[in-house]
Structures are given as C-alpha cells and as structure tokens.
Amino acid sequence: MPRSRKSLQSIIERLKIFYGQPRPPEITDPFEMILRENVAYLVADEQRDRAFQALSDRVGLSAEAILSAGDEALLDIARLGGMHPDARVNKLRTIAQTALREFAGNLEAMVKRPLAQGKKALKRFPGIGDPGAEKILLFSRSQPILALESNGLRVLVRLGFAEERKSYAATYIAAQEAVREQVKEDFDWLIAAHQLLQRHGREVCKRSAPRCKSCPLTRSCSFYTTSAIKEGLGDV
Ligand code: SF4
C-alpha cells in the first residue's frame, strides 16, 4: 500500500497550537506503568489515578511491598479501581512475582533490550499487549516509537493515514507503517505526539460523534472531506 502524503509533523504542530504543549507524563517507570494499567479496569483516568495513588500511599510501588501486603489492603485498593477487584489483587501479585522471578526486579534493564525483545518481555505481564508495551517503551524513553492508544489510532485512520482493517491489531500495524517515515526520532516529540493524538480523539474526534466543526484538522481529513461531499457541502 502506498504511504500517505499527509504530513504527520504538520498535524502534530496544529494539534500543539490547538491544545498547547502537553505536560510530560508523570509516570514513566516501567513497573509503575504496568501497575497503573492493572490497578483499575474500565474506569476514567481520574479514578485510575486515585487507585494508583492509594497503592502508592498504603502499600508502596515495589514488587516486594506488593507481595508482603495483606489481602484486605490490596482488595480495598482494587475496589477503588472498579469492577472485579479480586481479579485485580491477583494481577498485582502476578506482576510483582513476574518482575522478581523473570527480571530480577529490574525492568529498567529489560526495557533497554532491542525492540522485539522488550515488547515480548513486557507482554509477559497481565493487561499489556503490543500498544501498552510500546507506550511503556516510549514513556520510559527506551525506544523511539510512536505508540498509539485507541483514540490516537482512530484519529490517524479518520485523517486517512491508514484504512480500518479486520482486526484492531492489523489497523494498528497499518497506521504505524503509514507514518513510520514521518515520525521524528525524538522522545519529546514522540511522547507529545502520542498525548496530542490521544487528547484529540477523546475530546474532538470522538468515537461515535466526531466534533468536526471544532477541529483544526478538517483540511487534512479524509473522513471530513468524504462526509462533506456526501452531504453536498461543496469544496472542502
Ligand atoms: S475533521 Fe472530524 S473526523 Fe477529521 S480529525 Fe477532525 S474531528 Fe476527526
């Protein structure tokens, strides 16, 4: 498939003007990122942050602290993170055991391995697939890759960088491949691009009802152009 001629760098610049420069992520330690992903389930970021903060305050964020914590303490924290708290207690313990048993507690060394090895190792932890592993590798400044979560991926697809495929994984790979030659090998830029695409997908390019009238990217957007032609709005 031919690569898109749209300019990802210009789109990220326009998003930066629209939303402002994002603040650097607060959590960048690989083990802590895995814990935050697993301490809550299907909840808003604010609730996930509260559960993670409770884990930090009441138990601690080391593998040893989690393994020595009592069931009730972990269950109370897991309840803050939504449904199925029992399952999350098990996951937190599994994360701690995996970190100690397979990586001697040193995930920072593990994420410095070559990309494929680092991803494979991170996927040993619960709740971490390819997108999550890549986000950890990016935020920990281990691999300069444009990790995408679901909102950012949707924005790239609607803009026309890639077509939706039969599976999420195939669409993810297609979008990354389409922008591969346009990304800057610069951690600050890549992290900001991830954050800006995510925010745009959440706030404007929403899944069920994109707010195109408020979007700064209409001129570059295949979805908008196609919709406008269908609706007889003339040149766009
Ligand atoms: S114009 Fe609409 S569909 Fe395109 S990126 Fe903006 S909000 Fe999304």
Type of residue at 142:
S
Q: How far is the CA of 156 from the centre of ligand 1 (A)?
A: 9
Most informative mutation of 198, 213, 217, 220 for ligand 1 (most atoms within 8 A of CB): 217
Most informative mutation of 15, 19, 159, 226 for ligand 1 (most atoms within 8 A of CB): 159
Q: How far is the CA of 46 from the centre of ligand 1 (A)?
A: 26
Distance set, CA 136 to CA 9, 42, 59, 63, 194 (Å): 22, 19, 23, 18, 12
Using CB atoms within 10 Å of the CB of residue 48, give its burial: 0 to 12 exposed, 13 to 18 middle, 19+ buried.
Answer: buried
Name the stretches of the chain with pLDDT < 50.
Answer: 1-2, 234-236
Residues with CB under 6 A from ligand 1: 155, 158-159, 204-205, 210-212, 215, 217-218, 221, 223-224
Note the pLDDT of residue 200.
Answer: 98
What number of CA atoms fall less than 13 Å from residue 174's CA on the CB side?
A: 18
Q: How far is the CA of 19 from the centre of ligand 1 (A)?
A: 15
The domains located in the chain, with CATH, are: 8-22+147-231 (1.10.1670.10), 30-139 (1.10.340.30)
Q: How far is the CA of 59 from the centre of ligand 1 (A)?
A: 43
Note the pLDDT of residue 236.
Answer: 45
Distance set, CA 153 to CA 60, 72, 85, 175, 178 (Å): 33, 38, 29, 7, 12
Rounded Cα distance between 112 and 73, Å, is: 33
Please name the residue that has the structure tokens 């809550």. Answer: 40
Quick one: how far is CA 169 from the chain centroid?
14
Rounded Cα distance between 193 and 223, Å, is: 20
List the one residue out of 31, 3, 33 whose CA is nearest residue 147. Answer: 33
For residue 57, count other CB atoms closer than 10 A to its CB. Answer: 10
Give the pair of three-digit tokens for residue 177.
């491949």
Note the pLDDT of residue 225.
Answer: 93
Is residue 122 a contact partner of residue 111, using CB atoms and an 8 Å limit? yes
